[in-house]
Amino acid sequence: MKTGLAALMLMAVPASAEVVGEVGVDWVGNDIIVEAIADPKVQGVTCHLAYFERSVLDRLSQGNWFEDPSNSAIECTRTGPVRIGDICRGPEGEDVFSASRSLIFKALRVKRIYDEDNQVLIYLAHTDQVKEGSAKMSISTVALEPGEALPAK
């Protein structure tokens, strides 16, 4: 059984991921993995993150043994009453989930950004890379109902 990103999570990030889907995409064993990630500071919101996981055969044939692609997709939804804890309000947001995508140089991150003016939680999946960055990203939003939003500062 594949361990996916959940086994490679960085210790500083409290959210955990549970593999809920695994789709084979080719004859060499490459897969698309789908994980459920509950936001640890926002009760009632769950994100589903899909990413590409390379097989051993693909790694051997491509010669790039230690790295997975930066491609990912995210969708977040209400899975119960939304209760917001102590979240970051700044434009940088805060990490909800992070996992290594290479031996040391790349990480897949899910950030939460609070759009206070529009009362929306924004979840951004992106990859951090030490050099050349990555323009590959995916975004999902969860609109807050009256009474769910944080009080104005």
Report domain extents, the chain. Answer: 5-143
Give the residue with greater pLDDT, 111 vs 30: 111
Calculate what percentage of the chain has a pLDDT beyond 70: 72
Q: What are the tens digits of pLDDT across the range 14-61?
A: 567 899 999 988 887 788 889 999 999 999 999 999 988 776 676 666
Closest CA to 42 of 81, 99, 91: 81
Give mean pLDDT, residues 5-9: 35
Strand pairing partners for 36?
18, 48
| pTM of the shown model | 0.77
Whether the pLDDT of residue 4 is over 60: the answer is no
CB 62 within 8 A of CB 126: no
Residue 20, pLDDT score: 94
